[in-house]
Amino acid sequence: MSKNDMWGGRFSGGPAEIMEKINASIGFDKALYKQDIRGSLAHSDMLAAQGVISVGDRDAIHAGLKEIEKEIEAGTFDFKTELEDIHMNVESRLREKIGDPGARLHTGRSRNDQVITDVRLWLRDALDGIDALMADLQRALLDKAEMYADTLMPGYTHLQSAQPVTFGHHLMAYVEMVARDRGRMADCRKRLNECPLGAAALAGTSFPIDRHQTAAALGFDGPTRNSMDSVGSRDFILEFLAAGSIHAIHLSRLAEEIVMWMSDRFAFISLSDAFTTGSSIMPQKKNPDAAELVRAKPGRLLGAFISVSTMMKGLPMTFCKDMQEDKEPLFDAVESLTLAVAATAGMVDDLKARPDRMQDGLKQGFPTATDLADWLVRVLGLPFRDAHHVTGALVAKAEARQVDLADLTLEEMQAVENRITDDIYSVLTPAASVASRTSFGGTAPVRVREAVKAARADYL
């Protein structure tokens, strides 16, 4: 069957070579073959149930489609660029195999509603797979947070030493980020789970189809409500790309910290050879390449979002060929995000903390200064701003002597504030600081363990 036969009698001449190349999508949309065949099985079932085609035709269609699926999976299917896309390639082969019944399959539908149904089915499957990987990441983070609930490390603001925290508490921050990301993905899945099949080209069809039957057969919550919106909208793709970009940004933040923690200057953690590589020239190097690649992935997701949103901006209703450009960025974004989540979960599961180096980090930057100020407020009744000023003067004194706050003598402290007693030393250790942070959501080990338990119940 020639391409002109597929198009019908409107065209007498063939397309220019460049037109054929720019118009064809089979090079990438063949990834939708499972969804395309699944949709056709449901559609032909419905047509037979409604008496639009015979049961015999339906059975022949089903048998032919299942054979075609096996051919594609075996690698023997001949994808033809001149047939443009997965839909016409499958339909053409179906007609070769079963004859006239294959030509009746397209009754009551268009490639416009067919392709968007395929993409919704494909993305729904992808979302389910990504959510499972995100749950694995949360599980790895929770396991490590529980393991290191008591492990002290510096907490930073502006990448400057701020206050002592626990490594477990730090990791729990990412558990919460991933939880919100999973929520955004779940919202996306819920909104995309409506079936466009039967909207046809843009106006519906005069055949007595049952869109509720096909929607139920394909696992959708129901059919889309407006035929023009059904084929003319791609906001569910944009919603995924936006949510995926946010998650990729969160992954890149953790990846950056892994890179930083592995550096010689910090050396807070180690990763095994499974997630690191060497240098071609420097034999001593152990590079966190997996983390660096995860750190780069948001560029692909954000680029895909910009690409598809720019494509959709200003398009008139309903279907325009521009929309063919949604698939390559979508497919790439799903692959990139899937790799990034899996790699991050693997690194978290693999990493080992180095508490000795974390303790070394706590000897820099006066991380218990806030605890000193709090003591002045709590015990001496100073207004916090006054306590802040006194603490700043004591920090300057310790800095001048190149010692920690706990190494200042009582006399040196009383020279700044004469009411200070030796009880002040009870709050100047990182362990005491961390143990005191018992407010809900705080870094105290008891709160970290409670947070781990709650997160296991709420998120997994």
Annotation marks residue 158 as catalytic: yes
Q: Categorize the per-residue pLDDT at 108 as very low, low, confident or very high, splitting at 50, 70 and 90.
A: very high
CA pseudo-torsion sign 135, 136, 137, 142 = positive
Catalytic residue among 158, 206, 280, 439: 158
- Is 433 catalytic? The answer is no
What is the mean predicted confidence (pLDDT) over 413-422?
A: 96
**What gap in Å lies between CA 147 and CA 149, rounded to an integer?**
6
- Average pLDDT estimate for 386-404: 95
Residue 381 CB partners (closer than 8 Å, separation 6+)? none
Secondary structure of residue 154 in the 3-state scheme: strand
Q: Which of 263, 272, 279, 426 is catalytic?
A: 279
User: What CA–CA distance (Å, rounded) separates 97 from 102?
Assistant: 8
Contact 451, 399 (CB under 8 A): no
Q: Output the pTM of the full model.
A: 0.92
Return all residues near 102 (Cβ < 8 A) that are at least 6 apart. 60, 61, 64, 91, 94, 95, 96
Q: Residue 459 — very low, low, confident or very high, per pLDDT cuts 50/70/90?
A: very high
Cα–Cα distance for residue pair 216/210, rounded to 1 Å = 10
User: Checking phi first, is residue 411 left (phi over 0); if not, alpha (psi -120 to 50) or beta?
Assistant: alpha
Give pLDDT tens digits for 51-75. 999 999 999 999 999 999 999 999 9
Residue with tokens 């065209």: 11
Which pLDDT score is estimated for 14?
64
What gap in Å lies between CA 196 and CA 406, rounded to an integer? 68
Per-residue pLDDT of 342-356, as tens digits, reads 999 999 999 999 999
For the chain, how many residues are written? Answer: 460
- Residue 275 to residue 197: CA distance in whole angstroms: 44
Tell me 281's DSSP state.
S
Q: Which helix (H) or strand (E) holds 410?
A: helix 410-414
Q: Are 311 and 297 in contact (CB under 8 A)?
A: no
- Indicate the pLDDT class of residue 2, thresholds 50, 70 and 90: very low
